[in-house]
Amino acid sequence: MNHLNDMALFVEVAKAKSFRKAAEAARIPNSTLSRRISELEKAIGLRLLHRTTRKIELTEAGQLYYARCKRIVDEARLAHEQLGEMLEQPTGTLRVSLPVDLGAVYLTPIIADFARNYPSITFEFDLTPRRVDLVTEPFDVAIRIGKLEDSGLIARLIGKHSRHLYASPAYIRASREPTTPANLTEHKCICMPRSPNWTLQRGTETVDVDVHGRFTLNNVGMISALAVNHQGIALLPEKIVADDLASGRLQRVLPEWQGSSVSIYAVTETRLIPAKTQRFIEFLTSKLS
């Protein structure tokens, strides 16, 4: 690889016919450039340049080497330019694994904005609650919520969702509205599996409340729908219920309290990701953060 870099420096010297001008173009000291060319000549075993105090000329070997090297350096420069264009306007199919609720309810308009900005990308989305295997399955990135297992994959924090308590106005009218977190034990709470308690925070104060109810499920969209249909109090991400809250179908319960925030991650197999994936992660981060 060092020879390739020295090759590019040799081309600059041959074009400029001056170490000083070539050093200025390469933005390195003149002495460093001279040493690198000498090392290149030593590695090849032939003198490439005739050096005098007044000018620099190519030897016969140098002329042949320059003709070959210039094509290689020009191709490398073109490749870099094309990759730069790809970074600006990436192409290809982006394959993404998404949580069902986050993808369908909240990320859809964000993804639509991204698609408008990058018309050369096509998309394949897999909305599933399962954790896809990024090593053996053909996904570019997986969006995941909550605590991650130590898997050796690369996880980037792209946002956090605050969570609050919500219920329908009809449920609140039919039940005594809770005034403290402890009152939640007297209410029907719509729960997630393996979450027998809710951790609530108010400033620096934190409490854990054991909750129970008739419904336990792992789908945020259905939890929200059950709350809209007067089936109890739900602890939900604010963004998921924004429309129901704005329309009055849901209202905040214990508004001074909130649940612990939920982290959202973009997970990839490696840090070396194509431009389409890099731009997608950057776009989500700008919107979710």
Domain ranges of the chain: 2-81, 92-156+267-288, 161-262
Look at the block and give the residue holding tokens 């179908």: 249
Q: What pLDDT was estimated at residue 273? A: 84
Q: What pLDDT was estimated at residue 86? A: 64
| Tokens coding 65 | 């080497």
Kind of pairing, strands 189-190 and 233-237?
Answer: parallel
Q: What pLDDT was estimated at residue 260? A: 86
92-156+267-288: CATH number? 3.40.190.10
161-262: CATH number? 3.40.190.290
Alpha-carbon distance values, 25 to 16, 30, 65, 200 (Å): 9, 11, 20, 61
How many angstroms separate the first and last alpha carbons of the chain? 40
Answer CATH for 2-81 from 3.40.50.150, 1.10.10.10, 3.30.420.40, 1.10.357.10? 1.10.10.10
Q: What pLDDT was estimated at residue 253? A: 97
Q: What pLDDT was estimated at residue 25? A: 83
Q: What pLDDT was estimated at residue 87? A: 65
Does the pTM surpass 0.85? The reply is no
> 161-262: same fold as 2-81?
no
CA atoms within 13 A on the CB side of 218: 8
- DSSP lists the bridge partners of residue 125 as 96
Q: What is the CA radius of gyration of the chain?
A: 31
Could you give the CA distance from residue 180 to residue 254 in angstroms, rounded to a whole number? Answer: 7
Q: What pLDDT was estimated at residue 146? A: 81
Q: What pLDDT was estimated at residue 82? A: 64
Q: What pLDDT was estimated at residue 26? A: 84
Per-residue pLDDT 10s for the chain (289 aa) are 567 788 889 998 988 888 888 888 888 998 898 899 999 999 889 999 988 777 888 999 999 998 888 888 877 777 776 676 666 778 889 999 998 878 877 889 999 999 999 999 999 999 987 888 887 788 999 999 887 877 788 999 999 888 999 999 999 999 989 999 999 999 999 998 877 789 999 999 999 999 999 999 988 889 999 999 999 999 998 888 888 999 999 999 999 999 988 899 999 988 878 888 999 999 999 998 7
- DSSP lists the bridge partners of residue 127 as 98
Would you say 110 and 282 are in contact if contact means Cβ atoms under 8 Å apart? Answer: no
Would you say 186 and 261 are in contact if contact means Cβ atoms under 8 Å apart? Answer: no
